[in-house]
Amino acid sequence: MSSSGVPMLTLPLRVLPPVGLGRGRARLLVERNVIAYRRGWIFLVSGFFEPLFYLLSIGLGLNHLVGHLAIGGSSIPYTDYVAPGLLASSAMNGAIFDATFGIFFKLKIAKTYDAVLATPLGVRDVAIGELAWSLIRGTVYSIAFLTVMAALGLIASWWAVLCLPAAMLVSFAFGGLGMFGTCYMRSWQDFDLVSLAIVPLFLFSGVFYPLSLYPGWLRIVIMVTPLYQGVALLRGLDTGVLGPALLVHACYLALLGATGLVGASRRLGHLLLP
Amino acid sequence: MSQRPRGPSDSFRHGPLAVSTSDEGAGDSAGTAVQAQGLTKRFGEFTAVDAVDFDIEVGEAFGFLGANGAGKTSTMRMIACLSPISGGTLQVLGLDPMRDGPQIRSRIGLVPQDDTLDLELTVRDNLYLYGRYFGLPRKQLRERVEELLEFARLTERADQRVDPLSGGMRRRLTIARALVSSPSLVILDEPTTGLDPQARHLLWDRLYRLKREGVTLVITTHYMDEAEQLCDRLVVMDAGRIAAAGSPSELIEQWSTREVVELRFEPEGHQVHGERLADLAERVEVLPDRLLLYTDQGDATLDAVRSRGASPIAALVRRATLEDVFLHLTGRSLVD
Amino acid sequence: MSFFPQLPSAVATRQRRARLSPALRAYQYNLLAYKRTWRGSVTTTFLYPVLYLAAIGVGLGHLIDHGSNQAVGGVRYLWFLAPGLLAGTAMQIATNESTFPVMAGIKWLKTYLAMLAAPLEVTDVLYGHLAWILTRVALASGVFLAVMAAFHTVPSGWAVLAFPAAVLTGAAFAAPVMAFSATRETDQSFVVLYRFGIVPLFLFSGTFFPVAQLPGWLQVVARCTPLYQGVTLCRGLVLGHLGGWDALGHAGYLLAMLVGGVLAARVTYRRRLVQ
């Protein structure tokens, strides 16, 4: 047997006074994810490159073949057209992965949240903390992508400084939505639904070409999907083609993220504190 | 089954209250860590815990004994503020779990049945981060973590992930994790299920040390020997109710004779022999694989059995254990 | 080439099984496992390639063809893209199937070890799994070719030969990737392989646009990549504009990767599984 005594005596720690317990500790979930990713940083870093490769491939490779596109009365090169769309999908990708696979693993497989809830933290801390993490990851991707866009001279307007908060809204929306959906998933098989949603969104939400190519009814269907809202918002800001519609897009995304957060919070309470 | 030496738990019984863990401050009603009256937990139509009463004193090791599904874990989860109560009253450390959940949890260490260790983190980070959840400052926490690694005998594994650890190591880590905030009440749900004997004894040793420090331990188990070894007092739970309560020796005294004669016959003969020998003992239990005769004079009873001409394949006289209490109270044996 | 052996029926006798070659039994194991899990792979195998074809080929193709009808390589963009996606899909499926499932066989589910405990050799396990992966590639390629025909993008009878060409492309990736996977301890490197290998190959090997659109030095790099061979071969066969020697050259490149990959995998499998 080890000779070490019980450390209770050697270092008596007083638990902090119970002020604000169960509130405002969401940042600890973020701290957890930072520590967890210290060994898996390559997952974080590599995730950024996929949209970048698409930008260089489809954006640059097809630039000459597509030529110029008309937007808001002016005509812009195809690369300029596709870049903000890919920024939106980068923000989506950055947020969605941890909000779905990551949360499911912690919720159902590793039972990480069961352990967390045995501490002073509450479900709301868990929901806010995890969404904050998704948002941070999405934001980091967005900053990196915007930097590349600037370096390639793809930023056409000063309004583009608003692209970062707008991209964060996209991350917020998809993070909240992903987290909410994940709370209802039963097994890994259900995650086919995630890519079944993400891949068509990526391909058909106007990232690569205007919706005017679609028949009328399909256009309306796509316009209510969240990625389209993000693409439209970012493209408007990046190209400087503004209008009140941009505010509508922003409100839509904010509302979606908030709904996801509240819903996920409730559902997590049901699941974890029966 | 063999003659069991009296567990060291006897000498610790009703040990000194308070000692180092002076957490029982404001709000704690004198010397009571947990107080339940008519405590009930329902899941829809199903009643998992059915109006149970118990008091757990500060500094004692209190056991909940019962088969799977008896309501032990539901009770634990209510004490740990992880499950809203459906009826009755519950006070933990003088506070109301429904209202003061975070405050209570900040003073409790929970060792859940499935370890719920963070699989994406190293052993050290598991302890470190858990301490952070309790709001402990980083610098203080780092020292604390090293102490706990030593306590759990995991220092050499500190930088490994949790996956490759053995069951015993995971269990020790989970216990160390529960101690990171220096809790005054530690709840252990089936602490040694699935461990080999060596790992169990190491764990028990760690729990004795905690108890000596004055930490209140609440333990659920379906192992009789564990309950006898560790618990000052315990309740036997069956189908959501408390069937009996007391110290291990009190329970044995109250619900069993002093000794037990175990007889093995050809399997199909147990029922017949049970009826034939019924008058030789206070009580007879017929189990699928053996016959138990409850008596205060084991050797004399065994002689009487033999003089009747019954020739068991194997015979054994032993002292009564909690297993016998449980058998008597529930009519079922408490095997895994 | 028969990749579709009869499933052992309930009445199959032990004798009949004993006559099956050992590698075929390893293959059958994969087949039976797939019968339980095929639903999840329908999307990646069949649906997503078609979605790419529709979104990029039809949608973006409309813009590209808008100005001149002969924009890319003398044909409509959809015609150009479809055979490229055929080869790209073959690569993706082959790589997917020879990373995580190999890790599962060695480490997570230990199915390889279970097979080796039965009287199977390491090479049986390897060939059985490789044959299975190529079955998956063949299924996906066949379906995709049918979809291409439905989109009216198959102008030439030579297109039939694009089927073995796609399977060969898959094989050229599967074998070396299997060899690589057998040396890995965690799945982390698969993510790196996918994101820094497969995705760039998919995007820059002439799949979506002629490599002539790339800057000069990058063109040379792109022409040397294995997927470029597969894309060019499939596209040439589908559109019927590939010279015989060129076709042999591309096919030879892919075949060399397959053979080299198998030889390497024999070594890494043995090193990992026989201790």
Query: Can you give the residue ranges of every domain in chain B?
Result: 9-21+28-249, 256-329
Q: Is pLDDT of B15 > 50?
A: no
CATH tag, B256-329: 3.30.70
> Phi/psi at B204 (nearest 5 deg)?
-60, -40
What is the model's pLDDT at position C22?
A: 74
Secondary structure of residue C20 in the 3-state scheme: coil
Lowest-confidence region among A17-31, A200-214, C247-261:
A17-31
User: pLDDT tens digits for A86-116?
Assistant: 999 999 988 998 888 889 989 988 889 999 9
Taking CB atoms and an 8 Å limit, are A66 and C64 in contact across chains?
yes
Q: Identify the helix (H) or strand (E) that includes residue C253.
A: helix C244-273
In this prediction, residue C26 has a pLDDT band, given cuts at 50, 70 and 90, of confident
Query: Which of A112, A119, A268, A272 has the highest number of chain B CBs within 10 A, making it the mutation to test binding with B?
Result: A119
Of C2 and C233, which is predicted with more confidence? Answer: C233
Query: What tokens were used for B295?
Result: 């008596």
Secondary structure of residue B241 in the 3-state scheme: strand
What is the model's pLDDT at position B332?
A: 67
Domains B9-21+28-249 and B256-329 share a fold: no
Of B53 and B328, which is predicted with more confidence? Answer: B53
What is the model's pLDDT at position B336?
A: 37
Q: What is the DSSP letter of B29?
A: -
Mean pLDDT along residues B158-162: 91
Rounded Cα distance between B269 and B265, Å, is 6
Tell the burial category of A109 from Cβ atoms under 10 Å away from its Cβ (0-12, 13-18, 19+): exposed
Rounded Cα distance between A85 and A76, Å, is 14
Any contact of B with C, at least 3 CB pairs below 8 A?
no
| Sign (positive or negative) of CA dihedral C152, C154, C157, C163 | negative
Residues in C 154-213 with any Cβ partner in A closer than 8 A:
188, 191-192, 195-196, 199-200, 203-204, 208-209, 213
Rounded Cα distance between C172 and C176, Å, is 7
Judge: domain B9-21+28-249, CATH 3.40.50.300: yes
Q: Is pLDDT of B19 > 50?
A: no
User: pLDDT tens digits for C87-103?
Assistant: 999 999 999 999 988 98
Q: Please, what is the average pLDDT of chain C?
A: 84
Rounded Cα distance between B9 and B229, Å, is 5
Contact (CB, 8 A) for B188 and B175: yes
Rounded Cα distance between B293 and B144, Å, is 53
Mean pLDDT along residues B159-182: 90
Q: What is the DSSP letter of B216?
A: E
Q: Is pLDDT of C34 > 90?
A: no
Q: Is pLDDT of B66 > 60?
A: yes
**What residues does B315 pair with on adjacent strands?**
B263
What is the model's pLDDT at position B24?
A: 39
C138: Cα within 13 Å, side-chain hemisphere: 12
Q: Identify the helix (H) or strand (E) that includes residue B233.
A: strand B233-238
Q: Please, what is the average pLDDT of chain A?
A: 85
In this prediction, residue A64 has a pLDDT band, given cuts at 50, 70 and 90, of confident
User: pLDDT tens digits for A133-161?
Assistant: 999 999 999 999 999 999 988 887 788 88
Whether the CB of C104 is below 8 Å from some CB of chain A: the reply is no
Amino acid at A209: Y
Lowest-confidence region among A208-222, B26-40, B86-100:
B26-40
What is the model's pLDDT at position B192?
A: 85
Query: Which of A3, A6, A273 has the highest number of chain B CBs within 10 A, making it the mutation to test binding with B?
Result: A6
Residues in A 11-30 with any Cβ partner in B closer than 8 A:
11-16, 18, 21-22, 25, 28
Whether the CB of B144 is below 8 Å from some CB of chain A: the reply is yes
Rounded Cα distance between B26 and B130, Å, is 25
Query: What tokens were used for A137?
Result: 């990851």
What is the model's pLDDT at position B113?
A: 87
In this prediction, residue C4 has a pLDDT band, given cuts at 50, 70 and 90, of very low
Partners of B170 on chain A (C-beta within 8 Å) are none
Of A10, A40, A120, Cβ closest to residue B102 = A120
What is the model's pLDDT at position C70?
A: 52
Q: What is the percentage of chain C residues whose pLDDT exceeds 90?
A: 47
Q: Is pLDDT of C193 > 90?
A: yes
In this prediction, residue C275 has a pLDDT band, given cuts at 50, 70 and 90, of confident
Q: Is pLDDT of A6 > 90?
A: no
What is the model's pLDDT at position C36?
A: 67
Lowest-confidence region among A5-19, B137-151, C27-41:
A5-19
Q: Is pLDDT of B55 > 70?
A: yes
CA B101 to chain CA centroid, Å, is 24
* DSSP string computed for B246-277: E-HHHHHHHHS-SEEEEEE--GGGHHHHHHHT
Mean pLDDT along residues B75-89: 93
3-state helix, strand, coil in chain B (%, to 5): 35, 25, 40
Whether the CB of A58 is below 8 Å from some CB of chain C: the reply is yes
Q: Tell me which chains share at least 3 CB pairs under 8 Å with chain C.
A: A
Query: Which of A57, A193, A227 has the highest number of chain C CBs within 10 A, making it the mutation to test binding with C?
Result: A57
In this prediction, residue B98 has a pLDDT band, given cuts at 50, 70 and 90, of confident
End-to-end CA distance of chain B: 15
In Å, how far are A156, A166, A232, B225 from A229, measured between CA atoms?
Answer: 20, 10, 5, 64
Rounded Cα distance between B247 and B231, Å, is 8
What is the model's pLDDT at position B54?
A: 95
Cα of B246 to nearest chain A Cα, Å: 28
Rounded Cα distance between B278 and A268, Å, is 56
Q: What is the DSSP letter of C8?
A: P
Lowest-confidence region among A34-38, C29-33, C38-42, C175-179:
C38-42
Rounded Cα distance between B123 and C104, Å, is 25
Contact (CB, 8 A) for B148 and B210: no
Mean pLDDT along residues C235-239: 91
Whether the CB of B119 is below 8 Å from some CB of chain A: the reply is yes
End-to-end CA distance of chain C: 34
Rounded Cα distance between B302 and A21, Å, is 63
Whether the CB of A199 is below 8 Å from some CB of chain B: the reply is no
User: pLDDT tens digits for C44-89?
Assistant: 778 888 899 999 888 888 888 876 545 576 788 999 999 999 999 9
Rounded Cα distance between C40 and C45, Å, is 9
Q: Is pLDDT of C133 > 80?
A: yes
Q: Is pLDDT of A10 > 70?
A: no
User: pLDDT tens digits for A189-240?
Assistant: 777 788 888 999 999 999 999 998 888 899 999 999 999 999 999 999 988 8
Q: Is pLDDT of B10 > 70?
A: no
Q: What is the percentage of chain A residues whose pLDDT exceeds 70?
A: 91
